[in-house]
Structures are given as structure tokens and as C-alpha cells.
């Protein structure tokens, strides 16, 4: 499904939400084939907005804020479920337009964004459209959020802006983020902190090294502490989160004949969501004492919230449908932003997470359909949900 051209004008694929699950493959490809690298999501945001505004206006209120689209059902249901996914991708690497390929007896959709996370967004959009368009009123209220700039700096993240400026649009009882989880349920996420550990030295001519103190050599102590650290596995709400503490960059030295008077070791700490970022930072300052520690980036994790009744219902129903129980999310995702609002959230979407950002990014059509079926079934058949 390539982008069509009329003379020099590009004609973007339309987003058809009228075909139900039978249109999922085409929807995934249309989402992927519409330009949407981070910072350039306007055309895709336009297409998503148009598709959602075509839904019954008496049932759905669509709001656009920048390149963030929020569609909310307007009934009086007792509870609300949020379906969320980001519009953007990392830069294209000669892997668009999409195409269908066969691999191991399965049909795959190949191309940038298929895994991270246009397939998940397609599932969310189609489920929302089908439930809203059904003749009967939905069992409970739904909110669909499609947001920009997830793949770049945190301060640009569209969902982050919505949380900070328009939290009322994200009010709900449970959220499902369509990040790739291979069709399983990944609860919560680890927190992350990045720090610079500053190792001091004394400059000198390298021919008279004994007159200085080599800061790069001094960094060995920092590296030894990291090498000897034993990461813990911590159970939070029934899921096991493994820590990770690693050097990710070393900078030092100014010339080939100068003993370096400073060396910086950049360290990334991934920690269980039972610990806030402030506590993680305090741990790092103590761990690297007496070295100076400068904080470069921090983000709290998110507890899975699986003790909430609605979360248990989701795990029981969707886990039974997919044959996969809930596991801890490796890495940080925007479920943490819902956690800030007190909304329990999980990651659930098609696509192998190890293929995210890969030049050979591809997703199983069967997995897309299975995720749609499991989510749609839970949202429409969970009779106990409204009690």
C-alpha cells in the first residue's frame, strides 16, 4: 500500500474504520504509510481526526490539541476505559512503504512503525470505532487517545502535555496502552534515571604524568562498583521487575599529551516501580559516594495496579483469550503517565518488542487480529464491569 501520487501531489492512504476486523491489515498499512516521523505527525493526525469525526456524533466528542487527538464517548456509564497509542515513529530506514510478506507460514506486515506502534494503534482505533458504531450503547465509556512525539525527548511527549494541561480528558478507571507486547499483557513499567558520575583529576603533561592525577584511571573505581553490583528482582503487585545499573557512556581527556583532569561516567539505572525516582537518585548518590553525581534525566515507573478489580478482570479475560498471563514490562512506557493520574494501566498490543525500531520491523497479521478480538471481547462482554 504505497502512497499514491497525482502529478507531484501525494495522496495519503485513507483510514477506513467501517470494515471492522476485516480491515485491520489495510488500516495498519495506511497508518504506517502516512508520514509521521516524530515532529512531523500533522498529516497522520489529520487523517486520524477525520476518521474519528466520521463516527456517530451523538456518541463521540472529538478534541484536537496540536497533533493530539482525544475521542470520548459521552454516555453516563459508571466507568471509563482509556485506549491509547502514539502516532509517531523513529526515522524511516528504507522500510516504507509497507508490504506483506510470508514468514514461517504467517503473513507479516513489514515496514517502519508496524511494531512500534501502528499495529497497536490500529487495534485501538478499530475497537473504539466498532463499539461506538454498534446499535446498542456500550457497556462502559471509552476514551481513545492518539498522541505525538513519544519517540523523542520526554518534554515533547504529547501525552505528557495532556497529563499536565488537560488531565480531565484523561480521567478514567483503567488504561490500555497499545505498545508492542507480543500480544501479551505487560503490567506497569520500570522507572529510569540517568546520571553523570564526575571523576576528578589533576592535569599534567603526559611526559610528566606523576605530576598529575589521571581522572580516566580514577574512573576504574566507578566501573568496578558497577561491575560488582548485583541487580535485584523485586515483586510489585505480583509481577517481577528486574533492576539494571549500567555505564552507558564515558567522556574524558582533551589531548593526546595531557593527563585528563576530569572524566564523566554516564550511568543508567532502571528500577522497580515500588521506588520513586527521588529514592533511586538518593541511592545512586550514596552508591557512588564520594563522587559528585549530576542528574541528567529521571522518570518514575508505574505500578501495574493489578490489584484493582477492573485490572484483574482484564488480565483474567484477555489472558484467557490470548493464553498469556501478565508479566512485568521491561523498560519505561507511557503507562507511567497514567499512573501519575491514579489510573492503573497496562501495555497490550501486537508486535515483538525486540523488533521495535529495527530496520526489518514487521508484525504478524494473526497477532493483530487476535489482539483486536481479545480487547473487543473484553470491552463488550464483561458483564460484571458495570456492577
Block residue for cell numbers 599534567: 204
Distance from C-alpha of 354 to C-alpha of 86, rounded to nearest angstrom: 18
Of the candidates 159, 142, 16, 148, the residue with the CA atom closest to the CA atom of residue 83: 142
Distance from C-alpha of 190 to C-alpha of 347, rounded to nearest angstrom: 13
Catalytic site includes residue 352: no
Catalytic site includes residue 141: no
Distances (CA, A) of 39 to 42, 116, 148: 8, 16, 8
Give the active site residue among 150, 186, 300, 334.
Answer: 150
Backbone φ and ψ for 17, nearest 5 degrees, come out as: -105, 15
* Residue 321: Cβ within 10 Å count: 17
Report which DSSP code applies to 381: H
Distances (CA, A) of 325 to 87, 94, 242, 310, 366: 27, 36, 18, 15, 19
Distance from C-alpha of 47 to C-alpha of 311, rounded to nearest angstrom: 32
E strands, 22-77, in order: 60-65, 68-73
Q: Which residues contact 279 (CB under 8 A, 6 or more apart)?
A: none
Give the active site residue among 88, 151, 261, 361.
Answer: 88
Of the candidates 303, 308, 274, 369, the residue with the CA atom closest to the CA atom of residue 81: 308
**Residue 344: CA atoms inside 13 Å, Cβ hemisphere, count?**
19
Block residue for cell numbers 552508591: 287
- Name the residues annotated as catalytic: 88, 150
Amino acid at each position: 500500500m504505497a502512497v499514491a501520487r497525482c502529478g507531484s501531489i501525494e495522496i495519503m492512504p485513507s483510514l477506513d474504520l467501517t470494515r471492522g476486523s476485516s480491515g485491520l491489515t489495510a488500516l495498519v498499512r495506511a497508518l504506517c504509510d502516512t508520514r509521521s516521523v516524530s515532529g512531523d505527525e500533522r498529516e497522520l493526525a489529520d487523517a486520524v481526526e477525520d476518521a474519528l469525526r466520521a463516527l456517530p456524533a451523538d456518541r463521540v466528542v472529538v478534541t484536537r490539541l496540536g497533533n493530539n487527538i482525544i475521542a470520548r464517548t459521552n454516555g453516563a456509564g459508571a466507568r471509563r476505559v482509556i485506549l491509547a497509542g502514539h502516532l509517531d515513529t523513529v526515522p524511516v530506514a528504507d522500510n516504507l512503504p509497507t508490504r506483506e510478506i510470508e514468514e514461517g507460514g504467517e503473513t507479516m506486515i513489514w515496514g517502519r512503525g508496524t511494531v512500534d506502534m501502528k499495529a497497536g494503534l490500529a487495534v485501538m482505533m478499530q475497537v473504539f470505532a466498532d463499539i461506538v458504531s454498534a446499535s446498542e450503547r456500550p457497556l462502559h465509556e471509552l476514551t481513545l487517545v492518539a498522541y505525538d512525539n513519544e519517540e523523542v525527548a520526554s518534554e515533547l511527549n504529547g501525552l505528557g502535555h495532556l497529563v499536565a494541561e488537560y488531565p480531565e480528558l484523561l480521567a478514567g478507571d483503567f488504561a490500555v496502552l497499545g505498545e508492542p507486547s507480543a500480544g501479551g499483557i505487560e503490567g506497569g513499567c520500570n522507572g529510569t534515571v540517568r546520571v553523570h558520575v564526575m571523576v576528578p583529576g589533576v592535569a599534567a603533561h603526559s611526559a610528566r604524568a606523576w605530576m598529575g592525577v589521571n581522572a580516566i584511571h580514577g574512573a576504574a573505581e566507578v566501573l568496578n562498583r558497577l561491575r560488582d553490583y548485583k541487580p535485584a528482582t523485586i515483586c510489585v503487585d505480583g509481577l517481577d521487575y528486574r533492576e539494571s545499573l549500567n555505564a552507558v557512556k564515558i567522556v574524558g581527556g582533551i589531548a593526546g599529551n595531557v593527563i585528563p583532569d576530569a572524566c564523566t561516567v554516564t550511568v543508567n539505572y532502571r528500577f522497580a516501580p515500588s521506588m520513586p525516582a527521588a529514592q533511586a537518585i538518593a541511592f545512586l548518590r550514596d552508591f557512588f559516594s564520594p563522587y559528585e553525581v549530576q542528574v541528567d534525566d529521571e522518570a518514575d515507573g508505574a505500578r501495574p495496579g493489578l490489584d484493582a478489580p477492573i485490572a484483574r478482570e482484564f488480565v483474567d479475560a484477555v489472558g484467557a483469550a490470548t493464553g498469556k498471563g501478565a508479566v512485568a514490562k521491561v523498560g519505561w512506557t507511557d503507562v507511567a503517565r497514567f499512573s501519575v493520574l491514579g489510573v492503573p494501566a497496562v501495555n497490550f498490543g501486537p508486535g515483538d518488542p525486540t523488533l521495535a525500531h529495527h530496520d526489518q520491523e514487521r508484525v504478524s497479521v494473526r497477532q493483530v487480529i487476535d489482539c483486536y478480538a481479545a480487547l473487543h471481547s473484553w470491552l463488550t462482554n464483561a458483564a460484571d464491569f458495570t456492577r
